[in-house]
Amino acid sequence: MSRSWSGRPRQRYFRRPRSRWRKILDYAVTAAILGLLILVSARLDRVETRKAEGTAVVNDGDSITLGTERIRLRGIDAPEYSQVCVKDGAQYPCGRRSREALSHLVAGRQVVCTGWERDKYGRLLGECSVGNTDLNRAQVEAGWAIAYGGYEAAESAARRDHRGMWAGDFDRPRDWRKMHGDMTDIEHGSYGRILNWLREIFRFW
């Protein structure tokens, strides 16, 4: 028997042959992975940038409708239309103020939105603009929406200058929805982008 440098007998190890069921399981897992890759490749054509433009109907501070396309402004979260906030010890309808702010930015002009993701309600998550005005950023800069996976610098500036909702106290829209039993969606950051990408790929399956 051969010995190692330490003088101890060298152990010999032999790999046990895989069982029949283990082989079948390995083949099944491999086939499933290949099938998933083929399916994803076949559905990638659905993940494409979409563009919508026209006269917008403003639904609330972070969503509009262009024709038949419902659009959620990506990366921001505005108070719900019925939400109230507090300023100088008194409540005020910050949800309505947010909608009014977005309506003022749009002012009946042509709105252009682009995006490829859809949220769980089927709305296109879009970056929208009127002329040279970025509507998503403008709502956060004015303090009538908060960052929701984007525009963090704009939110910091609005908070520092006490603009919009930052002039008083308010519940973050997502928290307000939870307290009032409304459905919530995920933030529009990296994690949300992955989920939306998968949802879009398997949308009609």
For the chain, what percent of residues have pLDDT higher than 70?
72
pLDDT tens per residue, range 68-117: 999 999 999 999 999 999 999 999 999 999 999 999 999 999 999 999 89
* Average pLDDT estimate for 34-60: 72
State which amino acid sits at residue 112.
Answer: V
80 is catalytic: yes
pLDDT for the residue 114 = 97
Instruction: With a cut of 60, say whether residue 30 has pLDDT above it.
Output: yes
Q: Is 3 a catalytic residue?
A: no
CATH architecture of 47-201: Beta Barrel (2.40)
> Please, is 65 exposed, middle or buried when counting C-beta atoms within 10 Å of its C-beta (0-12, 13-18, 19+)?
middle
Q: Which of 47, 199, 77 is nearest to 144 (CA)?
A: 77
pLDDT band at 167 (very low <50, low <70, confident <90, very high): very high
State the virtual CA torsion across 95, 96, 97, 100 in degrees, nearest 10. 130
User: Structural domain boundaries of the chain?
Assistant: 47-201
In angstroms, the CA 31 to CA 29 distance is 5
Q: Which of 70, 74, 80, 99 is catalytic?
A: 80
Nearest Cα to Cα of residue 164 among 139, 143, 137: 143
pLDDT for the residue 22: 75
Q: Which of 123, 137, 141, 155 is catalytic?
A: 123
Reply yes or no on whether the pLDDT at 42 is more than 60: no
Question: Does residue 155 have an active-site annotation?
Answer: no
The whole-model pTM stands at 0.69
Retrieve residue 197's tokens: 């990408």
pLDDT of residue 140: 98
Mean pLDDT, all residues of the chain: 83
Whole-number pLDDT of residue 4: 45
pLDDT at residue 34 is higher than 60? yes
Instruction: Mention every residue, 6+ apart, whose C-beta is less than 8 A from residue 183.
Output: 177
